A = this chain, B = another copy of it.
């Protein structure tokens, strides 16, 4: 062979990237964005068609000029299976290379050990495997817990210990990716949600506890073992409080439904997320009615809002992102105590940042973020150089 090792897929990766970024781009537009000549575009798309990676369909004509085609995932192209494991349920989805997962199964699960969810998910994945065969290239899991070196090491709110999820995959040759749900949601928001076109995105989600991630240039900063982004376990809170995670003073404990319950003198709620929704709704209503002052729930919300906002300010000081995206109940907390929230945010910023504070935005992908992010992570693998080499080799065989 006599090609620069990295050049074999160079152009192809560019085109595939455009298709992922903008599903349904026209071929002409993709070539323009990449600065490709028309000759290269022809060559590359022809190759990708031949590899069953892309398909071209006539594009609706807009003005004059020769009509172009839209680039779409090939109906015989690679697929990624995606799983999301949340506090009370899980779902499986399948995604083509445009990164839009389609749910194929969903189920609630009890509060037993983590291993109980493995068999039913394995069954679904096994079904996908026999249905799609070699088209299925990877399994990507988003899970509500701390993940390190591809293993779920801790899921305190779920009350799961270290859990082995590797039994999910029907076939040892099928790559299994496991990521934290908030991390993957942040990835999705940064690439195609509220943080799109920003170089550095800080994503934070409040569900049960707080998770998040810093995404730089579309790549999540997850550290050596992939466990980065556990911002909920920074000691922004009261050091005398021991967190379920084992550390002290974790921010986690000051910003969610459990914190609201504590401030209200209520027992720890069974479902902190639902509890938070209810309290936030009532607090927002009270505020809207001008009865927020002295209202216990509104007070609790304000307290949580201050804890959340001042921590965010600290993270902004430390990371200098272009934008902060807020998911889960965080946008609701802000909305239900906007004044206190924004004041605490500004107050926590270094002085030079106050003139033009980094914007805080609610997520754009809603509850689909983690699933979309998991698909993106899976596709990063499948559409990498080595992934494409494997795909091409499989086609030949």
Contacts and interface: CB of A to CB of B under 8 A. Distances in A.
Interface of A: 4-7, 10, 35, 146, 148, 153-154, 162, 198-200, 214, 216, 221-231, 233-236, 239, 245-249, 310-311, 313-315, 317-322, 347-352, 354, 358
Contact of A233 (B225, B246, B247, B350): B350
30 contacts: A4-B7, A146-B350, A148-B320, A153-B352, A154-B350, A162-B352, A200-B224, A221-B319, A223-B319, A223-B320, A223-B322, A224-B321, A226-B320, A229-B318, A230-B318, A233-B314, A233-B317, A233-B350, A234-B314, A235-B236, A235-B310, A235-B314, A235-B348, A236-B236, A239-B310, A245-B317, A246-B351, A247-B347, A248-B310, A248-B348
Nearest to A358: B224
A349 B246 contact: yes
Given A216-B221, A221-B216, A221-B221, A247 B319 contact: no
B352 A231 contact: no
Contacts of A319: 221, 223, 228
B234 A315 contact: yes
Contacts of A315: 234
A214 B224 contact: no
A348 B314 contact: no
A307 B225 CA distance: 26
Contacts of A311: 235
Interface centre among A227, A313, A317, A349 (most CB of B within 10 A): A317
Contacts of A223: 200, 319-322
A384 B146 CA distance: 38
A350 B245 contact: yes
A248 B351 CA distance: 11
Contact of A317 (B222, B224, B247): B247
A352 B154 contact: yes
B350 A318 contact: no
A317 B230 CA distance: 6
A265 to B, nearest CB: 23
Given A248-B310, A310-B239, A227 B348 contact: no
Contacts of A235: 236, 310-311, 313-314, 348
Q: List 9 tightest A-B contacts by C-beta distance, closest first.
A: A223-B320, A246-B351, A234-B314, A233-B317, A224-B322, A227-B320, A153-B352, A228-B320, A245-B350
A226 B216 CA distance: 12
Contacts of A35: 5
A275 to B, nearest CB: 24
A219 to B, nearest CB: 9
Nearest to A11: B4
B234 A320 contact: no
Contacts of A347: 247-248
Contacts of A234: 234, 236, 314-315, 317-318
A319 B183 CA distance: 12
Nearest to A235: B314
A146 B226 CA distance: 29
